[in-house]
């Protein structure tokens, strides 16, 4: 029974398909996609996504059974947490701010520094990192195997494999690909409803795509180009330049995050250093932090207080107010 209820709660994969009247406003480039991209080797499967949802919320995936993926990617905060650095299983802060996993199916590469390309590969990282979930796959597969419902469902969905590292990762990735931001007022505007957003938001959109030039990196329906840029923060974190082997050309570059549900996702940036959207806009308008003489990707510009309010009014229209994320009831031992 529990399983059926949870399966029915999986985000529906149908999208707004109405054709638009608003093409003249240049809004066409921001239209939501009609389908979620699933890789051929891991196609959408409702039961696997439901199983993945349980795992995502299940602290049994951490060594001390004290932390789950949702501890740091919480749907209430746009799939982040409202602190600059989340605490891991060891009670120490992680070195970077938790990014959203909203629209994960379209995010590539993954991590702030772009170091992995698939969700399957990504999820192994936090599970085994000592400062994050501090588990081993040996211990969690053993622990999950002791739970009847997990044993039954893994056995049914992955008949020749059962509970293993690769099946756990497939389930988590399949679930994450179903986490899609729902229709927001901005989408209604894109689809031709001129009353869906305020005049202030329309002026803000004009600034976003015009004078403030946010659009040079925050493109398309998700508002990201999925590229790495240096926006002139001063965290000392090398970002894309700090991988193995080091690549100094990418120093201080971080991946552009999408802006869907951005008002729910403070604080901002890879280091969580900017507390509000006002601060973010002030940072960009100044052309990066005053002391950082290295922000090749951004230029300063002047915005009035009204302009800033308009830009924020636009960013607020990207908030999905319709998607409910029921917490799964996890199987008991």
| Whole-number Å distance between alpha carbons of 51 and 174 | 9
Among 6, 11, 86, 180, binds ligand HEC (CB under 6 A): 86
Piece of 26-34, 66-74, 142-150, 184-192 that binds ligand HEC (CB under 6 A): 66-74
Q: Is 48 in the site for ligand HEC (CB under 6 A)?
A: no
- In whole angstroms, the minimum distance from the beta carbon of 225 to ligand HEC comes to 8
What is the footprint of ligand HEC within residues 224-253 (CB under 6 A)? 229, 231, 233
Piece of 98-106, 146-154, 157-165, 243-251 that binds ligand HEC (CB under 6 A): 98-106
Beta carbons of 183 and 321 less than 8 angstroms apart: no
Alpha-carbon separation of residue 232 from 77, 236, 294 (angstroms): 25, 11, 6
| Whole-number Å distance between alpha carbons of 237 and 251 | 8
| Whole-number Å distance between alpha carbons of 10 and 177 | 11
Give Cα 45 distance to the centre of its chain: 21
| Whole-number Å distance between alpha carbons of 255 and 239 | 9
- In whole angstroms, the minimum distance from the beta carbon of 236 to ligand HEC comes to 12
Among 6, 27, 49, 133, binds ligand HEC (CB under 6 A): 133
Residue with Cβ nearer ligand HEC (171 or 191): 171
Residue with Cβ nearer ligand HEC (71 or 141): 71
Q: Is 212 in the site for ligand HEC (CB under 6 A)?
A: yes
Number of residues that bind ligand HEC (CB under 6 A): 51
Q: Is 268 in the site for ligand HEC (CB under 6 A)?
A: yes
- In whole angstroms, the minimum distance from the beta carbon of 256 to ligand HEC comes to 4
Angle among Cα 296, 302, 304 to the nearest 5 degrees reads 145
Among 48, 69, 144, 190, binds ligand HEC (CB under 6 A): 69
Q: Is 283 in the site for ligand HEC (CB under 6 A)?
A: no
What is the footprint of ligand HEC within residues 150-179 (CB under 6 A)? 172, 176
Site string for ligand HEC, 293-312 (x = CB under 6 A): ----xx--------------
| Whole-number Å distance between alpha carbons of 278 and 129 | 34
| Whole-number Å distance between alpha carbons of 154 and 160 | 10
What is the footprint of ligand HEC within residues 112-131 (CB under 6 A)? 112-113, 119, 122-123, 126-127
| Whole-number Å distance between alpha carbons of 24 and 18 | 16
| Whole-number Å distance between alpha carbons of 12 and 96 | 32
Give the tokens for residue 164.
């293993």
Beta carbons of 259 and 99 less than 8 angstroms apart: no
Angle among Cα 117, 122, 126 to the nearest 5 degrees reads 155
Q: How many CB atoms lie within 10 A of CB 151?
A: 15
| Whole-number Å distance between alpha carbons of 218 and 229 | 11
Q: Is 186 in the site for ligand HEC (CB under 6 A)?
A: no
Among 7, 94, 183, 325, binds ligand HEC (CB under 6 A): 94
Q: Is 67 in the site for ligand HEC (CB under 6 A)?
A: yes
Alpha-carbon separation of residue 158 from 123, 153, 168, 333 (angstroms): 19, 8, 10, 20
Among 11, 48, 98, 180, binds ligand HEC (CB under 6 A): 98
For ligand HEC, the binding residues (CB under 6 A) are 61, 67, 69, 71-73, 86, 88, 94, 96, 98-99, 101, 104, 107, 110-113, 119, 122-123, 126-127, 132-133, 172, 176, 212-214, 216-218, 229, 231, 233, 254, 256-257, 259, 262, 265, 268-270, 280-281, 284, 297-298
């Amino acid at each position: 029974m529990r399983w059926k209820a949870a399966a029915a709660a999986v985000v529906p994969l149908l999208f707004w398909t109405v054709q638009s009247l608003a093409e003249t406003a240049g809004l066409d480039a921001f239209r939501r996609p009609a389908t979620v991209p699933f890789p051929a080797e891991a196609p959408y499967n409702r039961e696997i996504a439901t199983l993945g949802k349980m795992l995502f919320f299940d602290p049994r995936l951490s060594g001390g059974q004290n932390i789950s993926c949702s501890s740091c990617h919480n749907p209430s905060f746009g799939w982040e947490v409202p602190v600059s650095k989340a605490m891991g299983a060891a009670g120490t802060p992680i070195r970077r701010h938790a990014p959203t996993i909203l629209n994960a199916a379209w995010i590539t590469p993954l991590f702030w520094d772009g170091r992995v390309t698939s969700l399957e590969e990504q999820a192994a990282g936090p599970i085994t990192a000592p400062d994050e979930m501090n588990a081993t796959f040996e211990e969690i597969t053993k622990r999950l195997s002791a739970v009847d419902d997990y044993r039954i469902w893994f056995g049914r969905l992955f008949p020749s494999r059962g509970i293993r590292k690769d099946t756990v990762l497939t389930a988590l990735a399949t679930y994450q690909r179903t986490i899609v931001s729902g229709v927001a007022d901005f989408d209604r505007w894109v689809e031709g409803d001129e009353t869906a957003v305020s005049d202030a938001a329309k002026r803000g959109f004009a600034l976003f795509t015009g004078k403030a030039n946010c659009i040079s990196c925050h493109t398309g329906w998700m508002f990201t180009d999925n590229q790495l840029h240096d926006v002139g923060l001063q965290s000392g974190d090398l970002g894309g330049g700090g991988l193995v082997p080091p690549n100094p050309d990418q120093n201080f570059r971080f991946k552009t995050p999408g802006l869907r549900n951005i008002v729910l996702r403070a604080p901002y940036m890879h280091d969580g250093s900017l507390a509000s959207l006002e601060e973010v806009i002030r940072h960009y308008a100044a052309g990066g932090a005053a002391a950082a003489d290295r922000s090749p990707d951004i230029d300063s510009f002047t915005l009035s207080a009204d302009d800033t309010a308009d830009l924020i009014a636009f960013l607020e229209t990207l908030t999905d107010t319709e998607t409910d994320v029921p917490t799964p009831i996890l199987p008991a031992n």
